[in-house]
Amino acid sequence: MIAALPASATPGPIERVEDAIDGAFAPVSDAVSTVIFYPVSLGGAEFPWIVAWLIIGAVVFTIGYRFIQIRGFGHAVALARGTYDDPDDPGEVTHFQALTAAVSGTVGLGNIAGVAVAVSIGGPGATFWMIVAGLLGMATKFVECTLGVAFREEHADGTVTGGPFRYLRVAFAKLKVPVLPQVLVGVYAIAILAFGMAGGNMFQANQTFAQAENVTGGADGPLGSGGASLVFGLVLAGLVGLVIIGGIRSIAKVTSRLVPAMAIVYVLACLTVIAFNAGAVPDALASIVTGAFDPEGVAGGVLGVLVVGFQRAAFSNEAGLGSAAIAHSAVKTKRPVTEGYVALLEPFIDTVIICTMTAVTIVVASPQSWLDARAAYAAGEDPSPDGVVLTSDAFATVIPWFPAVLAVAVALFAFSTLITWSYYTLKAWTTLFGRSRLSELVFKVLYCVFIVLGAVLTFSDVLNFADSMLFVCALVNILGLYLLAPEVNRMLRDYVAARRSGEVVPVKDRQPML
């Protein structure tokens, strides 16, 4: 990340280009953000209407599918473990690989910095509502990923294209309005492409370099010299390029190893911090529960802290945005609903486990830090830039060099997000510009170029625009999910009946073909 220049300094060529590009996006970013994140007020608390749209959808699907996230959790784990895998089924990757590919796209800096900000604003009680929102979002993931497989297109070379780019066409065709399906799918593809190139790409590269620079001595360290960000970006782009050239199969092979590794590293680090502060755990857990219903100093009271927790969960696990359905649609299966089951594990891993571990670590190890951050927020300061610092402070209370572990986790999270969002963005690209070897090659080169740009330049207004565009996806996607909900009901009934009749059984129980 490029540090702010002193007032007396004359901007160099890079800074002038950066300012010119970012300035050009400012009016567009402001206009789109105003609409997408327009605040509605309820009980003294303000929150973006798009968050309410996501949460209402999650509640509707939870009730409509009779708490499938609870009833189907055990079966989801069995499917993810490969208990029912058939290598002859159509598709490109296993259930486990599809899950890890999708998780790698959601688990990122938001699980570290974003959760710290939520605790700063809403106190420990925000954690409780974050967990509730994550549990509700599991039902949304079940619906969208079932549809992602059900309406996928299988190509002659064995690859598939699925997710919202396919099922939204079917959904909006039900409205019988000419060209509406093409227009809305086009809007969705543009939104995914915009976010993928900026938020899923440049921002991840930018923050990865910033963390690497920070742990190696900051501006005075080896990475603080001129040109270091360019070299860093080129190396990162090269590593990403080596993975994405092979498509979803290559991405899935990497994420199936990377995601468990990075999750284990981060969770073990959090557990270590919590263990060193074991005496504070009971009070911390009590404050999470009591703070959810009796918060102090939070605008809007109980509703205010609820909104903070729900908003962080919605921004973190992407339930309702449709992006994860793109990765899940590549799974090897003949029954789409099986991937719906597997997908419901994603918000559980992302929000209920990893986000919660971050929150508990901060509350038990660094209580004064989040109290100071809350005071700063109450005074009108923006806590967002200090999110990683709060988590890093909590890690440092155990061992002075422990923030370096956090830096490794951040790097792994960012790299996994980069490679998964390359696939999501590629599918948006081919939806808009056609599918051919040349088209895909052009995209992959551009994607790697944007990684280098992200390491060198900082675009605040571009990223604000990209964030807004991602939630344009939610508006279009959830409407499509409502229209296709009867299809999911039918597929779920058929699958449950097949399991009861013995048509669907674990691999070990299948009779050999004669």
- Token pair, residue 464, equals 């604000």
The Cα–Cα gap between 322 and 327 comes to: 10
The Cα–Cα gap between 419 and 445 comes to: 13
- Tens of pLDDT, residue by residue over 52-105, are 888 899 999 999 999 999 999 999 999 999 888 888 888 888 889 888 888 887
Beta-carbon contacts of 120 under 8 Å, excluding residues fewer than 6 positions away, are 370, 373, 374, 376, 377, 383, 386, 387, 390
Q: How many residues does the chain have?
A: 514
Query: In the predicted model, is pLDDT for residue 169 greater than 90?
Result: yes
- Token pair, residue 382, equals 């923006």
Please tell me the predicted confidence (pLDDT) of residue 465: 81
The Cα–Cα gap between 389 and 210 comes to: 12
Phi first, then psi: give them for residue 46, nearest 5 degrees: -110, 140
The Cα–Cα gap between 402 and 405 comes to: 5
Query: What is the residue-wise DSSP string for 86-133?
Result: -TTSSSSB-HHHHHHHHHHHHSSGGGTHHHHHHHHHH-THHHHHHHHH
**Which residue, among 382, 466, 3, has the nearest Cα to 198 in the 3D structure?**
466
Domains of the chain, earliest start first: 41-499 (1.20.1740)
Percentage of the chain lying above the pLDDT 90 cut: 24
Please tell me the predicted confidence (pLDDT) of residue 296: 62
The Cα–Cα gap between 130 and 43 comes to: 19
Q: What is the distance between the terminal CA atoms of the chain, rounded to a whole angstrom? A: 63
Amino acid at 145: C
Average the pLDDT over 106-125 and give the result. 75
Which residues, in sequence order, are bridge partners of residue 161? 153
The Cα–Cα gap between 223 and 79 comes to: 44
pLDDT bucket at 181, cuts 50 / 70 / 90: very high
SS3 per residue for 408-440: HHHHHHHHHHHHHHHHHHHHHHHHHHCCCHHHH
The Cα–Cα gap between 216 and 394 comes to: 19
| Mean pLDDT across the chain | 81
- Tens of pLDDT, residue by residue over 399-449, are 777 777 777 777 888 888 888 888 899 999 999 998 888 998 999 999 999
Helix 460-501 with 49-64: angle, nearest 10 deg: 0
The b-or-e profile of 424-446 (16+ CB within 10 A means b, else e) is bbbbbbbbeeeeeeeebeebbee
Please tell me the predicted confidence (pLDDT) of residue 75: 93
Query: In the predicted model, is pLDDT for residue 514 greater than 60?
Result: no
